[in-house]
Structure 1
Amino acid sequence: MSSRETDRMSSAQQTLDILYEISQLLHTQLDKETLATCVSMIENGVNPEALAGVIQELRRENTRIPEQSNVNGQ
C-alpha cells in the first residue's frame, strides 16, 4: 500500500471517529459500523433526510414488535 493510500485511509478513519463522537453527543444510538454504512450511503447519493426517516421508522417498528407479542399472548 502506498503512503498516499495509507494517509487517505488514516484520514477517513479519523473522520469516522469524529463523526462517531458527534453521534454519541447527539445520542443517535448508532454504532460505528452503522454510522459508517450511513455515511457510505450518503456519499453514494442517498438523501440524508430520507435515510434518517427510515432509521426512525425502523426504530419505531422495533419497539412495536415486542408490544404486539405481549398483546397476542406470545
Structure 2
Amino acid sequence: EGTVMGFLARAFPDLSPEEAQALARLSEGSIGKAIDLKNEGGLELLQAMTALLEGLPRLEGGKLHAFADSLVAGAKDR
C-alpha cells in the first residue's frame, strides 16, 4: 500500500494523502489498477457511494435514483 501511495503522490501531486490511500486500498496494491481507478473516476464513485450510505438506515429515494442514473450514464459512455 505504501509503494502505491508513494507512486500516486509523485504521479498525481493534486491528490490528497487520503485520496492516495483510498486508491491504494481499492487497487489492492496494484499501481496499474490505482492509475485506472484515478483516471476512470473511481474516487468520485467512492465518494458518491459513501455519501449515499451515510444516510443508512434511511436512504433518500431521490439520491438513490440520482446515483443509479449516474452509474447508467457512466456505463453508456464506455
Higher RCO structure (Cα 8 Å, ≥6 apart): 2
The TM-score by the shorter chain falls in which range?
0.3 to 0.5
Structure number with larger C-alpha Rg? 1
Q: So what's the TM-score if we normalise by structure 1?
A: 0.38
Q: So what's the TM-score if we normalise by structure 2?
A: 0.36
Give the number of the structure whose residues are more often helix, by fraction. 1
